[in-house]
Structure 1
Amino acid sequence: MDEASALAALAALSHPTRLSAFRLLVRNEPDGLTTGRLAEAANLSQSTFSTHLAVMAKAGLVTAEKQGRHQVQRAGIDTLRELMTFLAKDCCQGRAELCEPLLAELTCC
């Protein structure tokens, strides 16, 4: 991941609605959630929520798949992984033990 992509992902996640929706999608992997379900969870209309989805999709954080009459949204797990790696890559300056507490807190992946 390059700096521009990291900035786009971080900007997309900097809004409370988008951050909550993305975290909800991550929890619902690999099945994803319909746009309607996400909009309902955010207490927004689908049209209003769609603008948030567009921002996340542009950053690679969300992908959509049509299933019948519904759009199923899924978290961009690869983008999340790349972002996490980008952020943590240089932080320990070669001292992996500094990152161990962070890794211990992760319950997935």
Structure 2
Amino acid sequence: METTSAVAALSALAHEGRLEIFRLLVKAGDPGMPAGEIARATGVLPNTLSSNLGILAGAGLVTSRREGRSIIYNAAYDRMRDLLAFLMEDCCAGNAAICAPLAAIAARPCSAEGRSC
């Protein structure tokens, strides 16, 4: 990932409302969520939600698809992994002891059902 792409993604996430939306979409998994459901879950007004989703999409962190009359939003997992890899690239000057807790977090199952990422 290029530095400018990382900055755009981090900038998009550097807002409480957008971070909440992104985390909600990450939890939603592959099925994603319709815009109306996102608005209800976050308590965000439709015009604000639209703006926030546009910023997240512009940074490549969310995708959308039309299903009938609904627009379904998903977290862009590949982009999220690229961003995390970029942040970890030079982690701890190669000192595995410092990075070990992060590796343990990454190795945990994604849900209580034991589903892995």
CA displacement at 1:95 relative to structure 2: 2.7
Which stretch shows the higher mean deviation, 59-68 or 93-102? 93-102
Letter in 1 for 2:84: M
Unaligned stretches of 5+ residues in structure 2: 111-116
Give the Cα–Cα distance (whole angstroms) in 2 for the partners of residues 40 and 5 of structure 1.
30
Q: Which runs of 5 or more structure 1 residues have no equivalent in the other structure?
A: none
TM-score, L = length of structure 1: 0.93
TM-score normalised by structure 2 residue count? 0.87
Distance in 2 between residues matched to 1:36 and 1:5, nearest whole Å:
29
> For residues 48 and 23 of structure 2, what CA distance do their matches in structure 1 show?
19
Deviates more, 1:22-31 or 1:89-98: 89-98
Residue deviations 1:39-87 (CA, integer Å, cap 9, x gap): 1122122222100000000000000000000000000101100000000
Runs of 4+ in 1 over 4 A off after TM superposition: none
Between 1:16-25 and 1:97-106, the stretch displaced more is 97-106
